[in-house]
Structure 1
Amino acid sequence: MSFIEITKFNNWRIDRVVLVFVITLIFIAFLDRNQVWPSITFAFGNLVSILPFILLSIGVAAYTKASNLDSKINTISSGNPVVSIGIAALFGTLSPFCSCGVIPLIAGLLRAGVPLAPVMAFWISSPLMDPEMFILTSAVFGLEFTTFKTVAAFLMGTIGGLVAYLMVRAGYFQEIVRPQGSSGCSSSCGTSCDDDKPSTTIHWKFWQSSTRRAMFRDEALTNGWFLLKWLSLAFLFESLMVAYLPVDKVALLFGDDQWWSIPLGALIGIPAYLNGYAAIPTINSLIELGMGAGTGMTFMLAGSVSSIPAAMGVYALVKKPVFVLYLLLGLMGSITAGYAYSAWLLI
């Protein structure tokens, strides 16, 4: 194993993520024994629900590494950055992923060599809207609110991708993904290794080579274990937030769209857990009780683009500067959308 979460204790090799998971369960049992089983079933159920995406991302990453396809992907996806960013943001707006569910796909894309800019565009826009959510949101909030949220999702993704692109061009984010040490010749993004030396040859039928079969196996096991342990821990924390965090009571403190209520809504919405579907009835009831529509828009966007469980998975996947950029883009984008919607209602 690799990564700093592996530590030696006497003759035992203890994975720190697994250790935190077990200690968390012990604390739950000590503080509220009745919550242990609901938290376990919640985490397991969420893992099962996104299992197809996990398997897809593992397979894509392992195949691109074993076939040497990652040596070509970076060049192909870097043709026209503005177009690729726009397409990624549009695809993200139409894709049905929550902030946690999108992490396995992001991991696969980054490890396959896709540049950060289009990945960031997809990453931000994907949890914010999809066709089913558009229909449900329209039924509750009306077409105006839903259309504005859809446009905001696309623009947040596009602007986020452009910011990432400009920062990469300026020399930032030379290393994107945290190393996982899969097959002994891995890299942060976009590079590859052949059996003996770098090569641009694509080995579509990688299974014909024993070395590449081993490369596929090692990559799949490394990425699979990484996603399994971090998402399990993230969903465990998510279960506690769902059980104990009084999102509705906190949100009622915002009142109408005051100058401070919209940024406060983003600051609380980012760490709070509100997936897109759960947010619809929650935000609707809060608006009916006095929350401003602009604050509701901000709270819904911020809670969808990230949360503490999602942030944990992101932090484990990418380098700290990329993680900070991801949070800032979600925060500033949701605040801007909230103020814009408030201004729109005044016209």
Structure 2
Amino acid sequence: MDALIKGIAGLGLEIWHEFVYILPFLAIGVLLEATIRTFKWHVKIRKALTRFGVISILLATLLGVASPLCACATLPLVISLLLAGLPLAPAMALLVTSPLMSPAGYTLLNWELGVGWANVILVSAIFMGLYAGYLTHFLRRYGFSEERLFRQALPAGDFHDPDYPVEELRCDCGKQLSHRVDRCTHNKFLVFLAKFWEGSLKIGKFTLIGLLIEVVASSLIPHEWVAALLEGEGIMPILTLTFATIPLHLPQVTAAAMLYGFVSPEVGEGITLAKGSGIALLIGGPVTALPVMAVFISMFRKRVLFLYLGLCISGTLLLAFTYRLLPFSF
């Protein structure tokens, strides 16, 4: 019993030690996201999406990169935009890009894996949005039009209404602390503080989950197995990581924090992350979040789910193999 307690205490100390190392950049990322949410810059871009035709794919991609929303929060937004007349192509670009990059995600990647990897994932996220959007636009003529998306017609109404009949789409943002503060005070600074607190809890939670996975994996999984996947330059590590992460709920912040514990020479094992494996984990993991898959299955026709998965998997593999073959690293 004493050995078990000591083991748990040791794991807790190791997680805390690694968390303290990344805390400064975590705070910077949360600060950026709180600023964006307070002034609603992402909302202003979102309102323009339905008015710019094919160019809206590019706008949706940029919104996905800049938005602090995760995949689970983006999907109800995407559905509401589809019902408001947004074509499927920019909607798919936004949905694919949003979980891959955010201000907090970029700052944390910068600190945990270096500026090179942060820029690679930023470029990869933009590519994924454009790839998903323009390929979906091309497939419109093959049955992927807006009239044939949903399993059944969705009830009219506002997703923000607490009585909206579809529970999976009902937004509870009105219950958030920042919205209550805004209704009571209309003070931007107090709203900013509330959004900073909400972001700290959300991003801090996903960061700690990533560190927990890394610490437990380091303790239970032989080092050579982990190294073979993360350092491997062959094809199999890329395929293994890409398909193994499909059923996992692995947000980008969690994936980055998990990798940090393996590659950091200060607090981790000093593993050199291979180019292809890094893309497979940091792109393939976040883009196929389980909650998103559940809503896709319940709301959309099967062909839309298969399109989304096909875009995510093929885009990830294309990026991973391309970056692996490049004669240089960023």
Query: How far 1:86 sits from its partner (Å)?
Result: 0.8
SS of the residue aligned with 1:260? helix
Does residue 1:322 correspond to 2:304, yes or no?
yes
Query: How far 1:345 sits from its partner (Å)?
Result: 5.4
Instruction: Tell me what 1:149 maps to.
Output: 121
Query: How far 1:272 sits from its partner (Å)?
Result: 1.5
Pick from 216, 221, 236: which aligns with 2:163?
221
Instruction: Report which stretch shifted further, 218-227 or 285-294.
Output: 218-227
Instruction: Tell me what 2:247 maps to.
Output: 271
2-structure distance, mates of 1:95, 1:216: 21
2-structure distance, mates of 1:126, 1:217: 20
1-structure distance, mates of 2:149, 2:139: 12
1-structure distance, mates of 2:250, 2:291: 11
Instruction: Tell me what 2:316 maps to.
Output: 334
Give identity over the alignment, percent. 24
Does residue 1:343 correspond to 2:321, yes or no?
no
Pick from 126, 143, 148: which aligns with 1:175?
148
Does residue 1:121 correspond to 2:93, yes or no?
yes
2-structure distance, mates of 1:225, 1:80: 31
Does residue 1:260 correspond to 2:236, yes or no?
yes
2-structure distance, mates of 1:292, 1:308: 26
Q: Is the contact made by 1:89 and 1:122 (CA closer than 8 Å) also made in structure 2?
A: yes
One-letter amino acid of the structure 1 residue matched with residue 140 of structure 2: V
Q: Is the contact made by 1:180 and 1:222 (CA closer than 8 Å) also made in structure 2?
A: no
Query: How far 1:100 sits from its partner (Å)?
Result: 1.8
| Bigger helix fraction | 2
Q: Is the contact made by 1:110 and 1:116 (CA closer than 8 Å) also made in structure 2?
A: yes
Q: CA RMSD in A?
A: 3.4
SS of the residue aligned with 1:102? helix
TM-score, with length taken from structure 2: 0.61
Does residue 1:159 correspond to 2:150, yes or no?
no
Q: Is the contact made by 1:137 and 1:146 (CA closer than 8 Å) also made in structure 2?
A: yes
One-letter amino acid of the structure 1 residue matched with residue 310 of structure 2: L
How many residues of Structure 1 are paired with residues of Structure 2 in the alignment? Answer: 233
TM-score, with length taken from structure 1: 0.58
From the superposition, tell whether residues 277 and 115 of structure 1 become closer, same or farther in structure 2 (CA, over 3 Å): same
2-structure distance, mates of 1:152, 1:336: 10
2-structure distance, mates of 1:228, 1:117: 23
From the superposition, tell whether residues 149 and 322 of structure 1 become closer, same or farther in structure 2 (CA, over 3 Å): same
Q: Is the contact made by 1:299 and 1:334 (CA closer than 8 Å) also made in structure 2?
A: no
From the superposition, tell whether residues 247 and 95 of structure 1 become closer, same or farther in structure 2 (CA, over 3 Å): farther
One-letter amino acid of the structure 1 residue matched with residue 113 of structure 2: F
Does residue 1:140 correspond to 2:140, yes or no?
no
2-structure distance, mates of 1:93, 1:84: 14
Query: How far 1:341 sits from its partner (Å)?
Result: 2.4
The unaligned stretches of length 5 or more in structure 2 are: 1-42, 172-205, 264-269
Q: Is the contact made by 2:168 and 2:295 (CA closer than 8 Å) also made in structure 1?
A: no
1-structure distance, mates of 2:226, 2:309: 20
Provide, for residues 169-192 of structure 1, a one-character-per-residue CA deviation record: whole Å limited to 9, x for no partner. Answer: 344344112325525xxxxxxxxx
Query: How far 1:93 sits from its partner (Å)?
Result: 0.9
